[in-house]
Structure 1
Amino acid sequence: MRLPDLSGIQLPREPARLVRRSLRHVAGTLLGLVLGPLLLLTALLMLVRWRGPFRRVRGWELSRLRRAYRLQLDDQDGDSDGDDDRAGGGAFLGGRRALLHGALAGLLGYVMMDLLLLVAAVVLGSFTQSFYGSPVTLEFDLWVISRPAPSVLLIFGTSSLVAAALYAEFAVWLQALLLRRWTDVVRTDALESRISRLLTTRRGVVLAIDDERRRIERDLHDGVQQNIVSLSVTLARARRATDPARSSQLLEQAHAQSQALIDEVRQVAWRIYPTALDEHGLASALDGVAETSPVPVHVDVRLEGEVPQAVESAAYFVAREAVTNVVKHAAASHVRITVVTLAESDRRMLRLSVEDDGIGGANPEGGGLQGLARRVAALDGSVSVDSPAGGPTIISAEIPCD
C-alpha cells in the first residue's frame, strides 16, 4: 500500500493567516451588533410562546460563532427548549442565557462600530487632507495639536487598525469565556496555529539532526581519524625497524596510542548519547557532566514521578551544551544546574536552569543554543537565555512531561 504524498500540503503564511483571522473577528464582532439585540428581542417573544423567531436567530448566532470566531461548540450541553432544539443544536443557548449572551454580543458590537467609525474618520480625513497639504488639527480643552496629514495617517491610522484587531481578539476571548460556563468550547483557529508551529518545529528537528551529524563527523575526522592514522604510522615504523629494542619501543608507543584512542572513542560515544542516561537516569548523567567539567559544577536534581526518556534526553543535552559554552566562553568560576518538576495548570513540566557567574553576553542566536531550542521545541518546550553583559548567564528550559 502506498502512502499519500503530503509534501505539497502547506499552511498559509503566518502574516496572511493572522490578517485574515483579524478580519474575520472584526466582521464577526460587528455582526454581533445586529444579532445580539435580535437574540434579546426574540428571547423576550418566547414569553408569549412565540418560539419560531428565537430558534431562527439563535441558529444565525451559532453560525456567527462558528464561521467568524471558529468556535467549535458542544451543542448537547445545558438545558433545552424542546426535542427539536436538541436535534438542531445550540440547546445550551436558551432562556436567560440567550439574554446574557445577546446583551454581551450587542455591547461588544457597538464598541466595535464606534472604533471602526473612529478608524474611518482618521484614515479618510487624513488621506483627503494630504492632497491639500493642510495639517490635521486636534483640539482639546487644554491644548491644540497640529501635525502634517501624512504623519497622522501613518501613525494614527495604523494604531487604530491595530487597536481594532486587538479589540476583536478580546471580544472573541470574552464571548468564549462566557460560553465555557455552559458548554465545551474549542477554538479551531488555535488548532491551526498549533499545526503551523508543529510544522516549524518539525523542520527544526531536521536541522538539529543535521547539525548533530556534522558535529559527529567533525569529532571523528579531527580526533579519532587523526589518532588512527598516527597509530598506523607507528605500527608501520615498528614493522620496518631492524633493531629489536627500537621495534619494542615503537610497539609500546603504539599500545599507549591505542589505549588513548579507546578513551577518545568512548568520549565521542558519550557526547553522542551517554549510557548512564538510560541505565541510571538524568541525575547520574548530569553528575557525569559535572565530573568531566574543568569548571566546578553543582547539580541539584529534584524529580517527582516518572519523566519520559525523551524529556530527560533533551534536558541532558541542554545542560551539557550550556556547560560546554561556559567552559569555552564565560570565564566563570562556578556553574549551578537545577532540575525540578512542577505542576502547572493541567500539565506537569520539567524545568531546567543552568546558571554561571561568568562575563555574560551569550548570543541566543548562536548555532549551539539554536540547536538546543529546536531540540526542546520538538517536545513542545521552550528555551530562554538571560545573559546581560557582565553576567550572570541563566539558560532555562521548560519541557512538558505529559
Structure 2
Amino acid sequence: MRLPDLSAIYLPREPARLLRRSLRHIVGTLAGLVLGPLLVLTSLLMLVRWRGPFARVRGWELRRLQQAYRLQLEDGTGQFLGGRRALLHGVLMAVLGYLMMDLLLLVFAIVLGSFTQSFYGSPVTLEFDLWVISRPAPAVLIIFGTSSLLAAALYAEFAVWVQARLLRRWTGIVRTDALESRISRLLITRRGVVVAIDDERRRIERDLHDGVQQNVVSLSVTLARARRAADPERAAALLDQAHSQSQELIEEVRQVAWRIYPTALDEHGLASALDGVAATSPMPVQVDVRLEGEVPPAVESAAYFVAREAVTNVVKHARADHVRITVVTVTEPDRRVLRLNVVDDGIGGADPEGGGLQGLARRVAALDGSVSVDSPAGGPTTISAEVPCD
C-alpha cells in the first residue's frame, strides 16, 4: 500500500509551536462542519442566480484555509471553487468535521467518566475479546485520554492533507511556514503586478487614443480650415473654435495625467487627493481620513487608487445616491495597517472578479495587503482594503 506523501507538511520542532499548530488544525477542521453544509447550500442557491450568499461563504472558506491551515492559494479569489467543485469540497469538509467532532466527544467522555469514577474509588474495567483491562480511573484518564488527544491531532493533520490534495487538482497551492509562505506569496503577487502594469498601460493607451488623439486631430482640422478660409469673419470664427478645442485638449491631457498619478497625492497627502475624487464625482461623496503617524507613499497611493476605482464603479453600475470613504490607521500588536472602506447605498451585486477590482487587488497584494468586496443583492456594497504600513 502506498503511503501518503507528507513531505510537504512542515512540522515545527518547538513543542509550543507544534501545540498551537495542532489546535489550529483541530479548530479549522471543526469549522468545516459548519462551513461545509453552508457551502453546499449556497452553491445550490446559485442555480436560481442567488450569488450573494455563495460569494460570502466562499470568502469564509478561503479565510479558513488560510488562517487555520496556512494554505496559500494561487487563485486567492476562490474562482476555482464553484459548481460541482463547491459541492464536493463542502461535503468533504462536513464529513471531516463530523469525524473530528466524534473524536473530541470521545475525549470528553473519557475525561468526564474518569473524573466521575474517581469519586467512587473503584477501578475501571474495559473488556475486549481477548483481554480485560482493569485500571484506576486516573490511569484511564492519562492513558486513553492522551491517546485520544493524540489521535485527534493526527486526524487533523490527515484532514489538512486530504483537503490540500484535493485543492491541488484545482489550483496552485503551497503549504509552508511563515517564511516560505511569504516567499510563495511574493512569487504569486509578482506575476499579478506584471499583469496589473500591462492593464494600466493598455488603459493609458486607450485614454490617449480615444480622447487626446481625437481632440488633437479635431483641432488640426479646424486650424487647417481657418487657414484656407477666404472670409476673415469665417476665419475668426474657426480660430475661436480652435481656441475652445485647445482648452478642451488641455483639460483632457490634465485628466489623463491625473488618472495616471495625481500630483495632490505627493504635494498635499491622501486626504487632499481623496477630496479631489469627491469634488469630481457626479454624486455626493463623504471623505473621512484619520491617519496617525507617517504613512509610506506607496501605501497612500494604493489606498487612493482603490478608493478612486471604487467610486468610479459606483457611478457606472451601482445606481447609488451616496458614497462614504473612510481611511484610518490601526496599530495592532505586531504591525500597523491602513484600512480603507468605501461604502455605497446602491443596488449591490458587485462582481469581485471584475477587471478593475482585480487589478487593484494585485496592486495591494504587492504590498502584502488585501482587498475584499461585500456586495449582497440589494446593497449596500462595501469595498475594503488593508495595507501594512511597516
- Using structure 2 for the length normalisation, give the TM-score: 0.59
Residue of structure 1 aligned with 2:178, choices 190, 194, 197: 190
Residue 112 of structure 1 deviates from its aligned partner by: 7.7
Q: How does 1:172-321 map to 2 (within 5 A)?
A: 189-321=177-309
2:284–2:323 contact (8 Å) kept in structure 1: yes
Q: Does 1:20 align with 2:13?
A: no
Q: Does 1:162 align with 2:149?
A: no
If you compute each CA radius of gyration, which structure gives the higher value, 1 or 2?
Answer: 1
1:271-319 Cα distance to aligned partner (Å, 9 max, x none): 1000000000000000000000001000000000110000000000000
In structure 2, relative to structure 1, the CA distance for the partners of 1:107 and 1:279 (3 Å cut) is: farther
Residue 193 of structure 1 deviates from its aligned partner by: 1.5
1:26–1:165 contact (8 Å) kept in structure 2: no
2:6–2:161 contact (8 Å) kept in structure 1: no
1:45-72 Cα distance to aligned partner (Å, 9 max, x none): xxxxxxxxxxxxxxxxxxxxxxxxxxxx
Distance 1:26 1:313 in 2: 38
Q: Does 1:380 align with 2:368?
A: yes
Distance 2:341 2:302 in 1: 13
Residue 162 of structure 1 deviates from its aligned partner by: 1.1
Partner residue in 1 for 2:355: 367
Residue 109 of structure 1 deviates from its aligned partner by: 8.9
1:133-172 Cα distance to aligned partner (Å, 9 max, x none): xxxxxxxxxxxxxxxxxxxxxxxxxx99316779xxxxxx
Relative contact order higher in (CA < 8 Å, ≥ 6 apart): 2
1:115–1:164 contact (8 Å) kept in structure 2: no
Name the SS for the 1:383 alignment partner. strand
Distance 2:212 2:144 in 1: 72
Distance 1:284 1:114 in 2: 58
Residue 108 of structure 1 deviates from its aligned partner by: 11
2:309–2:356 contact (8 Å) kept in structure 1: yes
2:370–2:387 contact (8 Å) kept in structure 1: yes
In structure 2, relative to structure 1, the CA distance for the partners of 1:247 and 1:309 (3 Å cut) is: same
Name the SS for the 1:352 alignment partner. strand
**What letter matches 2:382 in structure 1?**
I
Name the SS for the 2:313 alignment partner. helix
Q: Percent identity?
A: 76
Name the SS for the 1:299 alignment partner. strand
Distance 2:158 2:11 in 1: 13
Residue 111 of structure 1 deviates from its aligned partner by: 4.7
1:201-229 Cα distance to aligned partner (Å, 9 max, x none): 11111111111110000001000000000
Residue 344 of structure 1 deviates from its aligned partner by: 1.0
2:324–2:342 contact (8 Å) kept in structure 1: yes
In structure 2, relative to structure 1, the CA distance for the partners of 1:116 and 1:306 (3 Å cut) is: closer
1:26–1:112 contact (8 Å) kept in structure 2: no
Distance 1:324 1:116 in 2: 49
Partner residue in 1 for 2:92: none
Residue 345 of structure 1 deviates from its aligned partner by: 1.3
Partner residue in 2 for 1:40: none
Provide the aligned C-alpha RMSD in A.
3.1
**What letter matches 2:212 in structure 1?**
V
Residue 115 of structure 1 deviates from its aligned partner by: 6.1
1:237–1:250 contact (8 Å) kept in structure 2: yes
Structure 1 residues not aligned, in runs of 5+: 1-17, 33-105, 120-158, 167-186
Name the SS for the 1:200 alignment partner. helix
Distance 1:390 1:334 in 2: 15
1:354-375 Cα distance to aligned partner (Å, 9 max, x none): 0000000000001001001000
For structure 1, which segment, 203-212 or 322-331, has the greater mean C-alpha deviation from structure 2 after superposition? 203-212
2:290–2:328 contact (8 Å) kept in structure 1: yes
Name the SS for the 2:177 alignment partner. helix
Q: How many residues align?
A: 249
Structure 2 residues not aligned, in runs of 5+: 19-142, 164-174
Residue of structure 2 aligned with 1:350, choices 338, 350, 356: 338
In structure 2, relative to structure 1, the CA distance for the partners of 1:266 and 1:349 (3 Å cut) is: same
